[in-house]
Structure 1
Amino acid sequence: MTVETSPADALLPALGRFTTVPADSARYDTDISSAAQALRATPAQISRLADHGLPHTADAERGPLFDYDDIMNVGMFCGTGQTVPELGLRFLMRFASSPEASWFEPRDWEIGVHPARTAGGAEPAEGVRLPTVTVRVPDLAAPGVTALSPGFDGPLRENGYEAAVRLTGARHTVRDPRILEAWHEIVDALAARRVTYQTVPEVLRADHHRAWDLGIADCMVASRLLADRLRAQGFEARARRGYLLGLFGSDHSWCEVVEDGVAKSLDPVFAFVATVGDERGVAESPAFARACLGSRFNRLLPCRTDSAEPLVYFDGEPAPYWAMVGVGARPRRSQ
């Protein structure tokens, strides 16, 4: 069915372009005000999304409540160019169109990880207890990571942290045909739209085979699936997880495989986004897409995890996606 839209209904074309979160994985905790803020829309536009089938629950006091991942996907697929996810992707991927040397040279960063504890940053209702926040810290032993401030005693820290690090990239290529075959299976499925690149909730990231079978994937799903396929071929491989640094930090995942004794980074989602280019408002960069097959970039900060576990927890459980708005980064000033 074709939905007739007016400028006031600019978000409606997104419906049907992505897969909404399955009911057994959904977390309906985002109210109209928070959704409107993320989509740079009016409450009336959010109400129309609900009227046209965007899944939600009804709360007697707060009104319709949506899954935040669904809201992010509305923003990514509506095509207005003004929503938070559209602007965020363009900003974070802007470095891909920079000169190649800038992807690898040493770069110093100041990072602040202080996750938001309420959707939209709103004050909690009277009597509502805010969750205890636990976060994963940078992996200061990872290749290309140098600590410029005191390190951390363990892999987790309560309430967040601030840190300074130097990230140094490295140019690598991959030659083994088995790695190349597994790589192209993932990237080509995204490019051909057999699998839709979209925001995926944490519970489905953990069940990445189910997500792929549903025809959806984000960086976490694609990286875990690629690591599985490489391990099945006998390679030492794992999904890595950390932050893509810019004016703010974004949860990101990539795959790492050992070839000829060297740990090489494989980033299928970066490669896909750099290939489709202007479709999502990101400059096309074939050179960057090629570099995603083996190279390490100076804007990716890996965190300490055993198997790419979540980076932020509320009361010991994986935090919702909106908690990431409390992560920020900026180039470090000379000391």
Structure 2
Amino acid sequence: MTVESAAPDALVGALGRFRTVPRDIGRYDTDAATAAQALRAAPGQVDLLAAEGLPHVVDPERGPLFDYDDLMNVGMFCGTGQTVPELGLRFLMRFAAAPRSSWYAPREWEVGVYPARTAGGDPVGAEAALAAGAGLPEVTVRVPDLSAPGVELVGGGPFEGALRTGGYEAAVRLTGADQNVRDPRIHAAWNEVVEGLASRRVVYQTVPEPLRADHHRAWELGVADCVVASRLLADRLRAQGLEATARRGYLLGLFGSDHAWCDVVEDGVHKSLDPVFAFVATVGDERGVARSPEFAAACFGSRFNRLLPCVTDSAEPLVYFDGEPAPYWAMVGVGARPRRTS
């Protein structure tokens, strides 16, 4: 299939709408062919991005190599509606347009976590790596948090500790909760973070794992994703004497997406705060997602039946390669579907 959906001017136009990965943490290992696949563009269009200033290095054999997170942001901000990140976000957020009751009712999921070990999950790339003697990384993944409210294991496991080598399959029942928040301290911290995104003072975009780990630097640079926003919100709440932590797990659909949110305890009840979901549902069609003020409001306290939390202390990475946080593209190997009960 020929993929030339993205117009060159659209891709180049995206360059001024997000902030590129700081050079000191850039990971320039994605070639033009992989970039073209993610952006649904011709290789020549990717070369044009390099010529127009998208950070890269030039390998004498492979040509220009890009940071995968930068490429995802080109795709997210180009406005074609056809790139992998645009389609992924729109698909994952479709549930926000469903009836409110469907966000909370008990729902069973079959989950498979086998992270991809080459960019885009390309089996040819894996074969090439092995042929070159490079080998493939050892994969370690975080397991579901069965102690979290609304999470019940109904198949697979058992799960012990926080990490498992390789991958896993499991069936889980997730039950949401329609909840609100009263404490004015929580309202103030929430408004500060959400307003930072809504005002565009801080750009919601893909953020690489090293910068997620330094979330205060990310916020000061004017960039945030779900991990950065959730960690910052948890910090603000703890500074007010509240019990709060950043959580991380999977947003389930036909595939699983890495997602993070904040957990705060009010009157002994764990309540979920999701500033990024709230922001995306507020801006709506700007990113190809249906606008939903009702869903945005529900993100302030409610728990959704599509979020599977994993065992973490503060939204640490879900996947590791040889003990180091895995690249963004490893999530290609995470899948989920409604469980068949008959």
> Which TM-score tier does this pair reach, normalised by the shorter chain?
over 0.9
Query: What is the CA RMSD across the aligned residues, in angstroms?
Result: 1.0
Q: Does 2:169 correspond to 1:162?
A: yes
In the other structure, the counterpart of 1:77 is 77
Q: Does 2:333 correspond to 1:308?
A: no
Equivalent residue pairs, number: 330
Tell me the secondary structure at the aligned position of residue 140 of structure 2. strand
**Alignment deviations for residues 257-293 of structure 1 (CA, whole Å, 9 cap, x no partner):** 0000001000000000000000000000000000000
8 Å Cα contact 1:9/1:45 also seen in 2? no
> 1:110-121 alignment to 2 at 5 Å?
110-120=110-120, 121=122
8 Å Cα contact 1:68/1:321 also seen in 2? yes
Relative to structure 1, is the Cα distance of residues 25 and 105 closer, same or farther in structure 2, using a 3 angstrom cutoff? same
Tell me the secondary structure at the aligned position of residue 16 of structure 2. coil
Tell me the secondary structure at the aligned position of residue 284 of structure 1. coil
Worse-matched range after superposition: 271-280 or 300-309:
300-309
Q: Distance in 2 between matches of 1:250 and 1:177?
A: 32
Question: 146, 151, 164: which is aligned to 1:145?
Answer: 151
8 Å Cα contact 1:112/1:162 also seen in 2? yes
8 Å Cα contact 2:246/2:313 also seen in 1? no
Shift of 1:107: 0.5
2:153 corresponds to which letter in structure 1?
A
In the other structure, the counterpart of 1:49 is 49
Q: Percent identity of the aligned residues?
A: 76
In the other structure, the counterpart of 1:219 is 226
**Alignment deviations for residues 99-120 of structure 1 (CA, whole Å, 9 cap, x no partner):** 0000000010000110010112
Q: Distance in 1 between matches of 2:8 and 2:247?
A: 41
In the other structure, the counterpart of 1:237 is 244
Q: Distance in 1 between matches of 2:282 and 2:110?
A: 30
**Alignment deviations for residues 210-241 of structure 1 (CA, whole Å, 9 cap, x no partner):** 00000000000000000000000000000000
Higher share of residues assigned helix: 2
2:114 corresponds to which letter in structure 1?
H
8 Å Cα contact 1:140/1:151 also seen in 2? no
Q: Distance in 2 between matches of 1:9 and 1:289?
A: 33
Shift of 1:155: 1.3
TM-score scaled by structure 1?
0.97
Q: Distance in 1 between matches of 2:55 and 2:302?
A: 40
**Unpaired runs of 5+ in structure 2?**
1-5
8 Å Cα contact 1:275/1:286 also seen in 2? yes
TM-score scaled by structure 2?
0.95
In the other structure, the counterpart of 2:325 is 318
**Unpaired runs of 5+ in structure 1?**
1-5
Tell me the secondary structure at the aligned position of residue 64 of structure 1. strand
In the other structure, the counterpart of 1:262 is 269
8 Å Cα contact 2:106/2:174 also seen in 1? yes
Q: Does 2:94 correspond to 1:103?
A: no
8 Å Cα contact 2:231/2:314 also seen in 1? no
Question: 181, 187, 190: which is aligned to 1:174?
Answer: 181
8 Å Cα contact 1:9/1:48 also seen in 2? no
1:23 corresponds to which letter in structure 2?
R
8 Å Cα contact 2:245/2:313 also seen in 1? no
8 Å Cα contact 1:275/1:284 also seen in 2? yes
Worse-matched range after superposition: 10-19 or 84-93:
10-19
